[in-house]
Amino acid sequence: MSAFPFTFKHCARDIPAGAVVFLVAIPLCLGIALASGAPPISGLLAGIVGGVVVSLFSGSALSVSGPAAGLTVIVLGAISTIGFEKLMIATALAGVIQVVCGYLRLGKIGSYVPNAVIKGMLAAIGLILIMNQLPTAFGLDADAALDLSAPAQWLSAMAPLAILIAGVSLAILWFWEQPASHVLGPFRRIPAPLLAVLVALALDHLGPMMGLGALSANQHVSLPGLEGPASFLSQIALPDPSALLDPAVLITALTIALIASLETLLSIEAVDKIDPLARHSPPNQELKAQGVGNFVCGLIGALPITAVIVRSSANVQAGGRTRLASFIHGGLLLISAMFLAFALEWIPLACLAAILIHTGFKLAKPGMVASLYRAGWNRFIPFIVTVGTVVMTDLIKGVAAGVICGLFFLLKSSHRSTISFTKSGKECVLKIHQDISFINRARMRQYLDLVPEGSHLVIDARNASFIDPDIQEDMDAFIAGAEKRDITVELQSFDGVTATFSPQTLRLQHAA
């Protein structure tokens, strides 16, 4: 990495691209903080760190970092169990873990998690996002105690204007992804989340005139105490180091580090595929950069961050070419938080809920479920197990359950394909296709039992550089007893040596 982290060679593209990403990031930062049960300022701070700090250390030219939908479930659960203050120290510790993983060159960790499990994790997060944001989209007060067995009560508590804002926002987000949206020409260049916010602001103002009532103060973004640079700096909190002694903090840190690293590695891989200059992002350097970012986030009270595909793809589509675009987006977030907080408080929460519901739907697309189903049970079952376990328990248990399920299908496939047996009269061939372990012992014994008396058996192990000692014992035992059944055994080994054990030679060996 050069001494100066940025190049201005493409600034004519990077500056406007950074502005576009900034406009996309504002509602996402606020919405993810809302979904996580964290203060809205923590979402803005996370976006600022993701742009200003991570871009200084990242090796990815186009990825943009910030608060991610994939971490909302973890953060929401952590805040409810250990509190926001302890979450801060867990986030900083997660950053340290990521930096260590980067130096240990563990950037390939994503390759060891089955793709079906990763998709299941993201789909479960999407479903949880949708379920958690529906009440806000309907204008229901999250703190109100509503009896779901009495529909009239919560139906009367809904806000028609909030429902309209959420519905129109969802329609805009959906239409912007359709081919038909190209008829709008240059107007389509406006980022869909930004347009949704602008339309929501207009509907919020026109709602009373349309007889839909007005949204209450708690149905808008709330950024208390942000009235300028001094008040912004006063909002920055410091973690309590004594929280390191809490085992729950360590578990939360490990969870954040694992999921944030996986999402980051998947995001940079996806962004590299759409990079117009076909560059490759070094995964280990990216882990270090994300670790530094999360360490800073934990120190100032920001949400944990990852590289995120929504903002990264917006960067590519807007013409970004270098990390300068991400840095500019972070700088603009910082300026807006310091000087324009009053304008952010105009945004209706129903609009942010719609953006998150749309994000959740993209994570759990029915088409993805259908494609995994068509791919076979060995991919569909781990996917479903991961989704169900994450929704009912938590992310770590869900990923672990999915990986175990995937290993089961892997072992099952290996069990069937490692060895094969063919028989033609008195000629038998037992072929070992690859390295063989004890899990194939039962099938090996089954095939050896099929060898008839007086036959000639070829054990072809030329493709196996390793044979488990348990398997070797069974083969030796079969060869030792072959003379009693008048069986000739021809053993072809990996090193090219062929040994033949006929009944006559076995009898001579026993006699000697």
Same domain, residue pair 304 and 453: no
Same domain, residue pair 356 and 369: no
- For the segment 347-362, what is each residue's pLDDT rounded down to a tens digit? 898 988 888 788 788 8
- Contact (CB, 8 A) for 77 and 326: no
Helix (H) or strand (E) holding 505: helix 503-511
Q: Residue 283: inside a domain, yes or no? A: yes
Q: Residue 8: inside a domain, yes or no? A: no
Q: How confident is the model at residue 89 (pLDDT cuts 50, 70, 90)?
A: very high
Helix (H) or strand (E) holding 488: strand 488-492
Same domain, residue pair 30 and 81: yes
Same domain, residue pair 303 and 436: no
Q: How many helices (H) and strands (E) does the chain have?
A: 22, 7
Residue 182 has pLDDT above 70, yes or no: yes
Question: How far, in Å, are 129, 133, 223, 247, 349 from residue 354 at the CA level?
Answer: 10, 8, 20, 36, 9
- For the segment 275-285, what is each residue's pLDDT rounded down to a tens digit? 888 888 899 99
Tokens of 349: 């929460």
Domain end marker among 364, 392, 407 = 364
Most confident of 368-377, 406-415, 498-507: 368-377
Q: Residue 15: inside a domain, yes or no? A: no
pLDDT for 148 equals 54
Query: Is residue 359 packed enough to be buried (19+ CB in 10 Å), middle (13-18) or exposed (0-12)?
Result: buried
Q: What is the mean pLDDT of the chain?
A: 85
Same domain, residue pair 322 and 434: no
Same domain, residue pair 242 and 343: yes
Q: Residue 483: inside a domain, yes or no? A: yes
Torsion of Cα atoms, 313 then 317 then 322 then 328, to 10°? -80
Same domain, residue pair 68 and 162: yes
- Contact (CB, 8 A) for 453 and 485: yes
Q: Residue 449: inside a domain, yes or no? A: yes
Domain end marker among 398, 416, 434 = 416
Same domain, residue pair 354 and 498: no
More confidently predicted of 482 and 191: 482
Q: What domain range is 399 assigned to? A: 365-416
- For the segment 198-234, what is each residue's pLDDT rounded down to a tens digit? 999 999 999 888 888 888 888 888 777 677 777 788 7
Same domain, residue pair 473 and 378: no
Question: How far, in Å, are 43, 126, 138, 156, 324 from residue 141 at the CA level?
Answer: 21, 22, 9, 12, 41
Domain end marker among 341, 364, 387 = 364
Same domain, residue pair 293 and 227: yes
Q: Could you tell me the pTM of the whole model?
A: 0.69
Q: Residue 6: inside a domain, yes or no? A: no
- For the segment 38-70, what is each residue's pLDDT rounded down to a tens digit? 988 999 999 999 999 999 999 898 899 999 877
Instruction: Please give the single-letter amino acid code of residue 148.
Output: L
Mean pLDDT of 128-143: 80
Pairwise CA distance, residues 19 & 336, whole Å? 12
Q: How confident is the model at residue 383 (pLDDT cuts 50, 70, 90)?
A: very high
Q: Residue 26: inside a domain, yes or no? A: yes
pLDDT for 241 equals 82
- Residue 368 bridge partners (DSSP): none
Mean pLDDT of 446-469: 89
Query: Into how many domains does the chain fold?
Result: 3
Pairwise CA distance, residues 415 & 256, whole Å? 35
Query: DSSP readout, 147-199?
Result: -TT-HHHHHHH--HHHHHHHHHHHHHHHHTTSGGGGGGGGGGGS-HHHHHHHH
Same domain, residue pair 297 and 330: yes
Residue 396 has pLDDT above 80, yes or no: no
Same domain, residue pair 397 and 478: no
Question: How far, in Å, are 415, 444, 476, 479 from residue 439 at the CA level?
Answer: 7, 10, 18, 21
- For the segment 313-335, what is each residue's pLDDT rounded down to a tens digit? 778 877 788 999 999 999 999 99
Bridge-based pairing of strands 64-67 and 419-424 is: unpaired
- Torsion sign across C-alpha atoms 393, 396, 398, 404: negative
Pairwise CA distance, residues 136 & 200, whole Å? 14
Using DSSP, state whether 429 is helix, strand or coil. strand
Q: How confident is the model at residue 147 (pLDDT cuts 50, 70, 90)?
A: low
Rounded percentage of the chain residues whose pLDDT exceeds 90: 31
- Residue 423 bridge partners (DSSP): 428
Residue 30 has pLDDT above 90, yes or no: no
pLDDT for 2 equals 43
Tokens of 141: 């007060």
Beta carbons within 10 angstroms of residue 367's beta carbon: 7
CATH number at residue 478: 3.30.750.24
- For the segment 407-434, what is each residue's pLDDT rounded down to a tens digit? 888 777 766 678 899 998 889 999 998 8
